[in-house]
Amino acid sequence: MDQIVTEERYVRQIPIMGETGIQRLKQSKVFVGRCGGVGGTVVNYLIRSGVGNLICAHGGKIVPEYLNRMQLAYEGDVGKPCIDAFRDKTEKINPATEIEYIGKNITEIDNLDEVLDGVDVLIDAHPLFEERYELNDTALRLNVPMVSGAMYGDEGYVFSILPKKTACLRCLYPERPKFWTNIKVFPALGMGPGIIGCSMAREAIELLLKNESPLLGRMLHFDLTDMDFSVLEMPQVDCPH
């Protein structure tokens, strides 16, 4: 029965990516930095799509204000370490995916290069610019593609990076915005992170299968207040990275 479920799980993806694509996803490895409203959505859809290996880094414990937007956190998880709550859900979604959980945020990981050895795509779902810069700079140093996404209230954006070939996060934000002081400064409604996370998961799959994507050198921006969706050019500036 388990074998039948495993084979039939991806049958509707075959017209899109073929059986070769399914096998490639099974052999792929993705790092997800933070698995909350944005990153948890990415994780959900990557493992549903059959990505075979993930590394998920997220510190702290589940608190009630997470519950309006985190797909991998339920009310009964309040007080639990985040990675324990996430592990419980992902094992039920697709036990075939091997996931290594790290109970730290990226700025707390001392051996980051070692952790990321063999990773095919990086996912930047971090809420803090210190964390986002850390993964951006690591992606460029290790020459690994990265998908980055962020939200603020009803607004959000997603873009992808091919190191040395496209604009990076520091091209977009040379310095941290002054208002972005901590994790609690931005309002959040669950639909925004959900849209961002779904878009990032699709971008990651494109990079895994083709090493290219629609948002290389471009940014998807949306504002749900008036349902405005735009794709903007992201020029590469004279960035030291």
Task: Catalogue all structural domains in the chain, each as residue range(s) with its CATH number.
Answer: 2-233 (3.40.50.720)
**Dihedral, 177, 179, 182, 186 alpha carbons, nearest 10:** -110
**Residues in the chain with pLDDT < 50?**
1, 4
Q: What is the mean pLDDT of the chain?
A: 93
> pTM of the prediction?
0.94
Report how far residue 125's alpha carbon sits from residue 235's, in angstroms, rounded to the nearest whole number. Answer: 22
38: part of which helix (H) or strand (E)? helix 37-49
Residue 215 Cα distances to 133, 138, 161, 240, angstroms: 19, 20, 8, 22
Predicted local distance difference test score (pLDDT) of residue 199: 97
Predicted local distance difference test score (pLDDT) of residue 39: 98
Predicted local distance difference test score (pLDDT) of residue 152: 87
* Residue with the two structure tokens 């208002």: 179
Report how far residue 181's alpha carbon sits from residue 129's, in angstroms, rounded to the nearest whole number. Answer: 9
* Residue with the two structure tokens 């009310």: 75
Buried b (16+ CB within 10 A) or exposed e, 39-61: bbbbbbbbbbbbbbbbbbbbbee
